[in-house]
Copies of this chain bind each other. A is one copy, B any other.
C-alpha cells in the first residue's frame, strides 16, 4: 500500500487556491492513501468564528465534490482537514474520502488554544474506518498529546493512524516514534509549513511531516519548510502483529483493571 503525506502552505481564506495546490500535488504521484494537513482547504489562523463560518465546508458541498473527484481520478483515498459546518455548528474535522464516494468524518476531540472560540469540541469519538481491507484511524493535531487518542484507535484495531496537523511546536514528531511503538501502528502525520498572521498571534508551523512504521521507525520525513507530496510503501498487516517477543504482547499484557481512567 502506497501512503503519501502532503506538506504545503495553505493560504488563509483562499479555498480555491488551496484546492488547486492540493490537486496539483496529488496528481503528480501514484498513491493508495494520501494524508493532508488539518484545515487544508481554508487555512488555520481565523480571527473570528464568522471568518471560519464563511469558508466552512458542508458534507455534500463543493469541496467534498472536489476531493471526491480527485480520489476518483487518482484512484486513492484522501484524508483531509477542513472546517465543517453541520446544523449551524462548526467543527474542526477531517474526512476519509474514498474513490467509491464515501466520506467518513472525524471531529477533533481536543481543541487547541483559540480554536476553543471557533469550533465545537468534536463529538464523533475516535473512529476506525475499513477501506479495501485496511483499517484506518483518524486524529487531528493537538489530539497527539493525549496518549488516549492513538491508544483508543489502536485498541479499535486501526493499522494506520492518519494525523492531519497544523503543529506549531516540534514535540509531536518525536512523540509519534513512541506512539507507533507502544501501539504497534503506522502513523502518517501531515503537517503544514509556513506562517499565518492574524490580530491575535503570528503562527509559524513546524512542518517535519513524517510516516512512522509499526515499530516506531521513521520511514518518511520532511524538513520544516518544504512543500512536498512524498509516498512510501507499507504493509498495513504488520500492524496486526502486537507481539514484542514470544511471551509479551502489547495488548494482551495490558491490565486494564489496574489503570486509572
Distance between Cα atoms of A128 and B156 in the complex (Å): 30
Q: How many copies does the complex hold?
A: 2
User: 10 smallest A-B Cβ distances: which pairs?
Assistant: A147-B147, A152-B260, A148-B259, A175-B178, A155-B260, A125-B258, A178-B178, A152-B259, A113-B247, A116-B247
A218 CB to closest chain B CB (Å) equals 12
Q: Which of A30-38, A219-227, A248-256 faces chain B?
A: A248-256
Q: Which residues 114-135 of A have a CB within 8 angstroms of B?
A: 114, 116, 121, 125-126
Closest to A244 in B: B145
A231 CB to closest chain B CB (Å) equals 27
Closest to A146 in B: B254
Q: Out of B126, B142, B182, B216, which one reaches A147, CB within 8 Å?
A: B182
B residues in contact with A147, CB < 8 Å:
147-148, 151, 182
Distance between Cα atoms of A116 and B245 in the complex (Å): 12
Most buried by B among A113, A248, A254: A248
Closest to A257 in B: B125
Q: Are A181 and B145 in contact (CB under 8 A)?
A: yes
Most buried by B among A178, A244, A261: A178
